[in-house]
Amino acid sequence: MKCREFVEFVMEYLDGTLGESERRVFEDHVGLCPPCVNYLNSYKATIAASKSLCDDPKEPAEVSVPEDLINAILAARAKS
């Protein structure tokens, strides 16, 4: 497996939908290619970070907006 092919299979690997033989080849490549290990770890971290942003999409996101910014926006809207 080449690095370009590795990238094409990352999502299936993490989803557990990669076939047995492809998974073995994928894991063999990871064992021999530090750049692909870094890519895989970055991919996993990105997924974890994006999931943590929307733990429950039905709940509103917690956003802290400075009061000064809110007042500035309201004042600008009142002028127009």
Whether pTM exceeds 0.75: no
Half-sphere exposure of 62 (CA within 13 A, CB side): 4
CATH of 3-79, one of 1.10.10, 1.20.140, 3.40.50, 3.30.160: 1.10.10
Radius of gyration of the chain (CA): 22
Domain boundaries, the chain: 3-79
In which band, very low, low, confident or very high, does the pLDDT at 73 lie, cut at 50, 70 and 90? Answer: confident
In which band, very low, low, confident or very high, does the pLDDT at 69 lie, cut at 50, 70 and 90? Answer: confident
Structure-token pair, residue 69: 């910014």
Query: For the segment 39-66, what is each residue's pLDDT rounded down to a tens digit?
Result: 999 999 988 888 777 666 666 666 677 8
